[in-house]
Amino acid sequence: MSAKIISGTETAKAIREELKTEVTELKEKYNVVPGLVTILVGDNPASQSYVAAKNKTAHALGIHSEQVTVPGDISEDDLLALVDKYNNDDKIHGILVQLPLPGHINEAKVLFAIDPDKDVDGFHPVNIGKMMLGEQCFLPCTPHGILELLQRSGVETSGAEVVVVGRSNIVGKPIANLMLQKRAGGNATVTLCHTRTRDMDFHTRRADILIVAAGVPKMIKGDQVKEGVVVIDVGVNRIGKSESGKAILAGDVDFDSVKEKAAAITPVPGGVGPMTITMLMKNTVQAARQSLDNKE
Ligand SMILES: NC(=O)c1ccc[n+]([C@@H]2O[C@H](COP(=O)([O-])OP(=O)(O)OC[C@H]3O[C@@H](n4cnc5c(N)ncnc54)[C@H](OP(=O)(O)O)[C@@H]3O)[C@@H](O)[C@H]2O)c1
């Protein structure tokens, strides 16, 4: 069997079209333009390119987007003051502080300072708590993108054995939690694996849906999965450079061997990656819509 490819590029494109319509409607009916600010501290090249991609996507969808770059030696107090300025700016519905932050700044303190109603990254404890409880909130973008990919590809999650490899706060823990919520797109039986898991192959081999977010290139091989599994590969690993100097990317899954057994699989690139930015845009539009509700 050769797997069906679950294309994040195509799914993201479809969601972006829906968002464009929603942005137009917000403007025409309510005179509201969703606004996003991205705050970049320092000059980390990877962060610069992530922030640039976010701004470009926002512009393409008609979202008002501001990019603020501050020096890497900014004090924690000054950064907190900047966040507070945007907490009180009515044009801005979503605030994103690009991670990682320099070592002298307490990352948690900065993330917790963002107004939860503008926390479009979904990292504030209020949103994480609401997510755990199954309440309406901003979902963290990568897990949110995985949910959309599964749902829009028609993958049945109810009763499925879902195995997640990786327990980070931004991917593994939230996606495990979302998959077990008692609602459509959830209702799975979830196992969460990490570096202390005994006999990981035992778990990966019984997965109906395998979600891998470990940051180890091509770690999961064909002999570690069962026939018919649906595989979501979150990993983005730079494994070299092409002759033209472009980074060569690999996922956490050995695509070539796993695709021979899987029913469906996400590629890298073109899988989860494009969904993450799109979900940031979706959360920003949601924030703008909620700001209207708060005014009523
Ligand atoms: N496509 C996207 O939009 C997107 C978004 C976010 C992340 N990513 C990618 O996804 C990957 C994971 O990112 P992250 O931030 O979630 O990772 P992270 O914070 O580095 O966490 C990695 C997790 O994987 C576990 N792990 C590592 N090696 C393992 C092994 N050999 N066996 C079992 N578990 C193992 C670790 O276990 P311990 O907790 O025991 O150390 C940890 O929980 C990276 O490649 C990252 O670039 C992609």
Give the closest residue to 191 by CA, choosing from 170, 211, 169, 219: 211
- Tens of pLDDT, residue by residue over 192-231, are 999 999 999 999 999 999 999 999 999 999 999 999 999 9
Whether 216 is in the pocket of ligand 1, judged by its Cβ within 6 Å, is yes
pLDDT at 60: 97
213/194 Cα distance (integer angstroms):
10
Is position 121 annotated as part of the catalytic site? yes
User: Is the CB of residue 8 below 6 angstroms from any atom belonging to ligand 1?
Assistant: no
Q: Are residues 74 and 44 in contact, defined by beta-carbon separation less than 8 angstroms? A: no
Expressed in angstroms and rounded, the spacing between residue 52 Cα and the centre of ligand 1 is 24
67 labelled catalytic: no
Domain boundaries, the chain: 29-119, 141-273
The CA 202 to ligand 1 mean position distance, Å, reads 19
Q: With a 6 A CB cut-off, is 186 part of the ligand 1 pocket? A: no
* Residue 248 Cα to ligand 1 middle (Å): 19
Beta carbon of 99 within 6 Å of any ligand 1 atom: no
Nearest atom in ligand 1 to the alpha carbon of residue 172 is: 16
Query: What's the pLDDT score for residue 1?
Result: 65
Q: Tell which atom from ligand 1 comes closest to the C-alpha of 276.
A: 3
**What pTM did the predictor assign?**
0.96
Question: What's 269's DSSP letter?
Answer: S
The pair of three-digit structure tokens given for residue 28, joined into one six-digit string: 């025409």
Q: What DSSP string describes 27-61?
A: HHHH----EEEEEEES--HHHHHHHHHHHHHHHHH
Q: Determine the distance separating the centroid of ligand 1 and the alpha carbon of 234, expressed in angstroms.
A: 8
Backbone angles phi and psi of 269, in degrees to 5 = -80, 175
- Host H or E run for residue 4: strand 4-5
Q: How would CATH label the architecture of 29-119?
A: 3-Layer(aba) Sandwich (3.40)
H-helix or E-strand containing 150?
A: helix 141-152
| 121 pLDDT above the threshold of 80 | yes
Question: Does 148 score more than 80 pLDDT?
Answer: yes
Q: Domain 141-273 has what CATH class?
A: alpha beta
- Ligand 1, residue 277: give the atom nearest the CA: 3
Instruction: Calculate the alpha carbon distances from 109 to 77, 87, 114, 215, 289 in Å.
Output: 10, 15, 9, 26, 27
Q: Taking a C-beta distance cutoff of 8 angstroms, is the pair 193, 200 a contact?
A: yes
Q: What is the pLDDT of residues 222-244, one digit of tens each?
A: 999 999 999 999 999 999 999 99
pLDDT at site 296: 63
Pick the catalytic residue from 119, 121, 233, 254: 121
Q: For 69-92, what is the mean pLDDT? A: 98
Equal CATH topology for 29-119 and 141-273: yes
Query: Sheet harboring 35-41: ordered strands across?
Result: 64-70, 35-41, 94-97
> Is residue 248 within 8 Å of residue 238, measured between CB atoms?
yes
CA–CA separation, 142 vs 139, rounded Å? 9
